[in-house]
Chain A
Amino acid sequence: MSWGQFWDAVTAPRVVASYKLTFGASLLAAAINSVFGLIVAWVLVRYSFPGKRLVDALVDLPFALPTAVAGIALTALYAPNGWIGHYLQDWWGLKVAYTPLGVLVALIFIGLPFIVRTVQPVLEDVEAELEEAAATLGATRWQIFAHVIFPAVLPALLTGFTLAFARAVGEYGSVVFIAGNMPMISEITPLIIITKLEQYDYTGATAVAVVMLVTSFALLLLINYLQWLSRKHNPEK
């Protein structure tokens, strides 16, 4: 395959549309997970409520549940006749399954534990003395959170964000069921590779795979850099 053919294969409109969906939905899912994952981690570390240990253990479900199972379960839930989907449909006229929104839902499911599990230990380590000192100096609870606690967990949050994003970009099993897989609209890049393989277009599949591999490497470097950065700021860890 020549350089020109490679370029044509990886910049075909259908492929470019899939990059936009894959990277856009992955970014958005990681951002949503950062907000709610932080809240979940906070609640699990700081508060007590009935069933907390069970909830804590179940946060890892997306790590343990096979992606195909997650995929069909989410589709059944968010389909127009599903438990959640029919409320979304009736109340807001919102279609989730078989649209790009479905991709987002699957990627939120997949990414959540990455955020919770990277933020949780750091949150546990925030020293009570620091918060008490801030309170003694007259800080409100919100100021303490914004200026004392949040800066301490930010490196972990960023690492979790990147891990969730990297996982979401390559995710296949949970997405293909819920996405509807319409070319140009709800087709993710890994599915493009599969489709090309099924048409025996091995070179085309490899070209798109190369783009994904390069992206994974870049993300891997970024993760290592972020972890190095957070170690530099907390030398004792």
Chain B
Amino acid sequence: METTVDTALAPPARRRLARRSAREEPAWVRLALIFIALAFLLLFLFAPLAAVFAGAFRKGWEAYIASIIEPDAWSAIKLTLLAAGIAVPLNLIFGVAAAWAIAKFEFRGKSLLITLIDLPFSVSPVVSGLIYVLIFGLQGWFGPSLHEHDIKIIFAVPGIVLATMFVTFPFVARELIPLMQAQGTEEEEAAVVLGANGWQIFWRVTLPNIKWGLLYGVILCNARAMGEFGAVSVVSGHVRGLTNTMPLHVEILYNEYNFAAAFAVASLLALLALVTLALKTLVEWLGREQINRGQA
């Protein structure tokens, strides 16, 4: 639209020149800023990423494969998948429910709920883990009665799942709340007027509107669930082959100076991060397409 106005009002070249000098810096400033930005990103982001893969393949393909299919690494991979497999779906349900309640209804204590949802983001992961030790650990509130019934939560798999759930709690809800608030309640109200029931409204009206935001939240939630270190480290007890997740296994290998193997397992997690970023970019793009189509 702007270009048509431009050509109608003024000689296009002159007009464009004026626009450019008002909005743009001299070429040397531009190049210098791009150089500074890329150099900074190279030192702090790209080089570490490259270092992971360089470290992983330092001893060649065979050593790489060997350190991944080795039994302890394998059980760490399975435990990580299990923890994420439980934590992500549960947080998905919780996140949708919380965002639905916050965005579509008015109730007392709403802002308290929003603050509570954000809490895991601002609490140190170490403190998050400690909270579970204080509740379920042997010296904790429920510790003695759990011990009587021979239920182990801390230094066992349930503790790892709980800690993972806690730190990934906000991702889905945080993504959906602003989205659902921005969409308002008109479409749902129209559906009610047309006679739809609660489920129908959710599946036919709300869910299609939030699907990209939801997917985005789930992707980030999953990445954090598989990569969590601090909180899981406190509750895990680090039993090789039993309560080690992938990040904890990386730590053990690294501390044993088994660098090639540590980086090999780490490279799987780095690959997960790259897939996460690719999916995230794709979902962002698809979400924008949906918005553009909606406006057209």
Instruction: Please give the residue numbers on chain A whose beta carbons come within 8 Å of chain B beta carbons, in ascending order.
Output: 36, 39-40, 42-44, 46-47, 49, 53, 55, 57-70, 72-74, 76-77, 82-84, 105, 108-109, 112, 128, 131-132, 134-136, 141, 144, 166-167, 169-173, 177, 190, 193-194, 197, 202, 205-206, 209, 212-213, 216-217, 219-220, 223-224
Contacts and interface: CB of A to CB of B under 8 A. Distances in A.
Nearest to B247: A68
Given A173-B247, A194-B126, A216-B123, A66 B37 contact: no
Determine which residue in B37, B125, B273 has the highest number of CB atoms from chain A within 10 A of its CB, and name it: B37
Given A67-B229, A77-B51, A109-B45, A57 B123 contact: no
B118 A220 contact: yes
Nearest to A70: B48
B139 interface: yes
Nearest to A175: B230
Nearest to B222: A64
Q: Is the interface of B mostly helix, strand, loop or mixed?
A: helix
A32 B263 CA distance: 29
B36 A39 contact: yes
A202 B143 CA distance: 13
Contacts of B162: none
A38 B55 CA distance: 32
A213 B33 contact: no
B229 A68 contact: yes
B211 interface: no
Q: Is the interface of A mostly helix, strand, loop or mixed?
A: helix
Contact of A194 (B30, B48, B233): B233
A59 B280 CA distance: 12
B250 A72 contact: yes
Contacts of B263: 72, 76
Given A60-B280, A216-B123, 18 more contacts: A43-B37, A58-B49, A62-B45, A64-B227, A66-B228, A68-B248, A73-B52, A73-B270, A77-B47, A105-B44, A134-B22, A173-B233, A193-B124, A209-B124, A209-B126, A217-B122, A219-B122, A223-B122
A171 to B, nearest CB: 7
Interface in B43-70: 43-49, 51-52, 55
Contacts of B118: 220
Contact of B226 (A58, A66, A74): A66
Contacts of A220: 115, 118-119, 122
A90 B130 CA distance: 42
Given A109-B48, A170-B122, A58 B41 contact: yes
10 contacts: A47-B34, A57-B281, A83-B47, A109-B48, A141-B25, A169-B124, A172-B233, A190-B127, A213-B123, A220-B119
A47 B277 contact: no
B251 interface: yes
Contacts of B49: 58, 61, 65, 73
A63 B137 CA distance: 30
Interface residues of B, number: 71
Contacts of A144: 22
A135 B3 CA distance: 20
A216 B124 contact: yes
A49 B34 contact: yes
B88 interface: no
Nearest to A105: B44
A46 B37 CA distance: 13
Interface in B201-236: 220, 223, 226-230, 233-234
A40 to B, nearest CB: 5
Interface in B61-108: none
B253 to A, nearest CB: 9
B141 interface: no
A134 B23 CA distance: 10
A196 to B, nearest CB: 10
Contacts of B21: 135
Contacts of A105: 44
